[in-house]
Amino acid sequence: MGDGTGTTWTCYDAATMTAREIYGHVLAELSDADPRIVGLTADLAKSTAIAIYERRHPDRFFNMGIAEQNLMGVAAGMAKTGLIPFASTFAAFASMRAAEQVRTDIAYQNLPVKIIATHAGVSFGSAGTTHHCTEDLAIMRSFANMTVIVPADGTETANAVRAAVDIPGPVYIRIGRGFEPPFYDSEDYGFEVGRSHTVRDGSDVTIIACGIAVLQSAEAARLLQEHDGLSVRVLNMHTIKPIDREAVLNAVSDTRRILTVEEHNVLGGLGSAVSEVIVESGKGCAFQKLGIPDEYSPVGYPEDLYAHFHLEANGIADHVRSMLDLEFEEDEDWEDEV
Amino acid sequence: MNHPLDQESLAARLFVRAAFPVMKVPLQEDPKLSRSPSPEPANVAFMADDVSACIRFEDGELSVTEGPCGESDVTLRFPSVEAMNRLLRGGIALPRIRGAIRHPRVLLRTMQLLLRLKLMLPSQRPRDPFKQYLKVKMSLYMVTTALSVLNKLGDPEMQSWTRGQPDRIYQFTVGSPERDDYIAAYLRVKNGRTKAGRGVYTRRRPFVHFRFTGAEEAMRVLLKEVAFVESVEQGYLTVEGSPEYSAALNDLMTRVQALMT
């Protein structure tokens, strides 16, 4: 179906509000009660769904034109006056074209600008490599003061947007193209910034996922339970920074095998953040990162690209199986204690 | 690949490798034994057909090895493995004893410990809390070790169960870890290999954790006074982890108990 940008998309469930649409609605609701909230975009009001906000609060909506650097600079200036700007654009433009403004104007001054980055990862599919964004987590994670959130679906996006208002500094919320299938049934599952959500408990291996990979990881865990008898823990690590160290370390000690799954270059994103926690702890475990390899993606439908990169349930399950034989510790004493 | 053993030989080897080492528990914890004078350092040989074991007493402790003693001070030779098993199952069997006159205290300590092993028999239902604790601790130590030995001896059923599993811990605990009477034992399984261990395995979370409320409740379950499922319903036992694998392990434990009682 068409999404208004001229590109043709496949679609899971057009009847369900997508992450970006939910973002638009939630932001409009929040603005009803909080006059500090303002919305900005760079000629992508419709594509990023902030147009929903524009219709409800036209006097608090600002279109900067095709000028992402300006978008971030103006947002920083508004934040300086006490406003809470939500700046929406494609992830590739927010994190790379406007990187200096995000760093120096916003993050350096620790200003409460909330960046809503849509069409992240390879979700822009046929739009090609210029519009793919598999580097943003690495970039945003390295900006001091920045909180980085990757919601699993629209419901979690609503939670993240609400939570972002109360965070005093800058927040980067990374969402997809808009037709990702829903994962959560309701908003009441205990979302908390910096605290992962245990989607499923298990003791053989832990999958730590974010974004669209959460649903696929949960499905992989179900497959592994049913077909392989494996007990797989799945953590939705929606907050990449600050990362939930406790949950990672619990996974190390409880399951000793960790697979991270993300729609991002395997360098610098969720996998890197998790591996830093593990290495800094001095504890050992078998560890693998599944994501976009250190290469640029082919161009195609997002679903085909996810399958190509094994970012779907069967690919994730195969990776888990391959981890089971990894030897990583010295506990190979098989003499019974008598 | 090991040749399958006949049931009596299998039971005898389980006694030697899983039950005899459990003598350490009463030796260390039963005041009647731990406070009485230790015998002189000595080797006690158990022999029955092709099954043998050597118990070494030294410095108030004992160690058990399967196989003949290099030099034994006391020897208990049974006419057959069936006879030895009968004695260890609580029946009557008279071994030929050598060395009793020269080492009476060694023989006495050996007999005291063999009698303590009887505490694990289903016919024994102590009311004294300390004896209940001893019975449960010895039984859990014995059964976890017996399961591991069963696997190591090449038992097809056990090997079939262990072969397909990644690194997994089957943990048993009784009571609260803050209490002195806390009991913990585990069975580790990994790709067909097994290890029985004492205490809590700390390197990973259990795949299945059997938590008994206390020794009295654990004893009721071990004695089959309450069925496995019923024991969970009544709160004697909490099972955290896979219900299918915990049920399979329970079946294997029942088989081990049947072999040894």
Instruction: Give DSSP secondary structure letters for B61-107.
Output: EEEEEES--SS-SEEEEES-HHHHHHHHTT-----EEESTTT-HHHH
Nearest CA in chain B to A321: B166
Judging contacts by C-beta atoms under 8 Å, the chain B residues touching residue A203 are: 168-169, 204-207, 241
Whether residue B114 sits in one domain with residue B133: no
Q: Which residues contact B215 (CB under 8 A, 6 or more apart)?
A: B129, B132, B133, B135, B136, B137, B174, B175, B181, B183
* B69 and B154 both lie in a single domain: no
User: What mean pLDDT comes out for the span A272-301?
Assistant: 94
Residues B92 and B177 in one domain: no
pLDDT-derived band at A2 (thresholds 50, 70, 90) equals very low
B206 in reach of chain A (CB within 8 A)? yes
Calpha distance B109→A184 (Å, rounded): 65
| CB-based contact, B205 to chain A, within 8 Å | yes
B245 touches chain A (CB under 8 A): yes
Within 13 Å, how many C-alpha atoms sit on residue B64's CB side?
21
A331 contacts in B (CB within 8 Å)?
203
pLDDT tens by residue, A184-204: 988 999 999 999 999 999 999
Closest CA of chain A from B214, distance in Å: 23
Mean pLDDT computed over every residue of chain B? 92
Cα distances (Å, whole numbers) of residue B73 to A62, A271, B42, B45, B116: 97, 63, 6, 8, 22
Q: Which amino acid is located at B33 in the chain?
A: L
Q: Which CATH superfamily is domain A19-174 in?
A: Thiamin diphosphate (ThDP)-binding fold, Pyr/PP domains (3.40.50.970)
- Asked whether residue B97 is domain-assigned, the answer is yes
pLDDT computed for residue A9 by the predictor: 34
B34 and B116 together in one domain: yes
Query: By C-alpha distance, which of A319, A259, A269, A324 is closest to A289?
Result: A259
Q: How many CB pairs under 8 A join A and B?
A: 59
> Do the beta carbons of residue A233 and residue A256 sit within 8 Å?
no
**Residue B129, Cβ neighbours under 10 Å: how many?**
12
* Chain B residues closer than 8 Å to A229 by CB: 164-165, 242, 244-245
> B197 in contact with A at a CB cutoff of 8 Å?
yes
R_g over Cα of chain A: 20
Q: Cβ contact (<8 Å) for B205 and A203?
A: yes
In chain B, DSSP finds a helix count (H) and a strand count (E) of 10, 10
pLDDT tens for each residue of A328-337: 666 778 899 8
Segment A138-150 shows an average pLDDT of: 98
Residue B32 within a domain: yes
Contacts of residue B203 in chain A, CB cutoff 8 Å? 253, 256, 329, 331
Task: State whether B245 and A229 contact (CB < 8 Å).
Answer: yes
Final residue in a domain of this structure, among B120, B155, B179: B120
The backbone torsions φ and ψ at residue A126, rounded to the nearest 5 degrees and listed phi first, read: -70, -15
Sort strands B208-212 and B168-174 into parallel, antiparallel or unpaired.
parallel
Indicate the length of chain B as a whole number: 261
The H-or-E segment that residue A37 falls in is: strand A37-41
Contact A337 B198 (CB under 8 A): yes
- Domain's final residue, options B62, B97, B120: B120
Which member of A254, A324, A336 has the closest CB to residue B205? A254
Q: How confident is the model at residue A119 (pLDDT cuts 50, 70, 90)?
A: very high
Which ipTM score applies to this complex? 0.81
Domain A19-174 and domain A197-323, same fold? Reply is: yes
Domain ranges of chain A: 19-174, 197-323
pLDDT of residue A47: 74
CB contact under 8 A, A204 and B207: yes
Last residue of a domain, one of B69, B88, B120: B120
Query: How many distinct structural domains can be found in chain B?
Result: 2
Q: Both B150 and B256 in a single domain?
A: yes
Spatial separation of the C-alpha atoms in residues A245 and A50, rounded to whole Å: 33
B2 in any annotated domain: no
Lowest mean pLDDT among A2-6, A138-142, A266-270, B7-11: A2-6
User: Is the previous residue joined to A168 through a cis bond, with omega within 30 degrees of 0?
Assistant: no
Nearest to A231 among B148, B203, B207 (CB): B207
> For residue B177, what is the DSSP state?
T
Residue B201 lies in a domain: yes
Confidence of residue B4 (pLDDT cuts 50, 70, 90): low
pLDDT tens readout for residues B75-133: 999 999 999 999 999 999 899 999 999 999 999 999 999 999 999 999 999 999 999 99
For residue B156 the two structure tokens come to: 């097809």
| CA-closest candidate to residue B21, choices B108, B104, B137, B107 | B137
* Nearest Cα to Cα of residue A156 among A277, A271, A237, A35: A237
Q: Tell me how far apart the alpha carbons of residues A80 and A109 are, in angstroms, rounded to a whole number.
A: 9
Q: What is the per-residue pLDDT across B182-191, written as a single tens digit (0 to 9) for each?
A: 999 999 999 8
What is the per-residue pLDDT across B6-44, written as a single tens digit (0 to 9) for each?
A: 899 999 999 999 999 999 999 999 998 888 888 889 999
Q: How far apart are CA A68 and CA A311, in angstroms?
A: 30
Chain A residues with CB-CB distance to B196 below 8 A: 336-338
Query: Could you list the residue range(s) of the whole structural domain that residue B89 is in?
Result: 7-120
CATH 3.40.50.2000 fits A197-323, yes or no: no
Using the Cβ of B195 and the Cβ atoms of chain A, whether some distance falls under 8 Å is answered with yes
A100 is catalytic: no
- Distance CA(B113)–CA(B50), nearest Å, equals 23
**Mind spelling out the 3-state secondary structure of A41-64?**
ECCCCCCCCCHHHHHHCHHHEEEC
CATH number, domain at B40? 3.30.1050.10
Instruction: Identify the CA nearest to B11 among candidates B43, B64, B48.
Output: B48
Closest to B208 measured CA to CA, from A207, A258, A202, A225: A202
Q: Which residue has the tokens 């030697």?
A: B16
Q: Hey, what amino acid is at A17? A: M
Residue A261's DSSP bridge partners are A209, A290
Using the structure block, give the residue that is written with the tokens 């038992």: B155
Nearest-Å Rg of the Cα atoms of chain B is: 18
* Helix (H) / strand (E) containing A89: strand A84-90
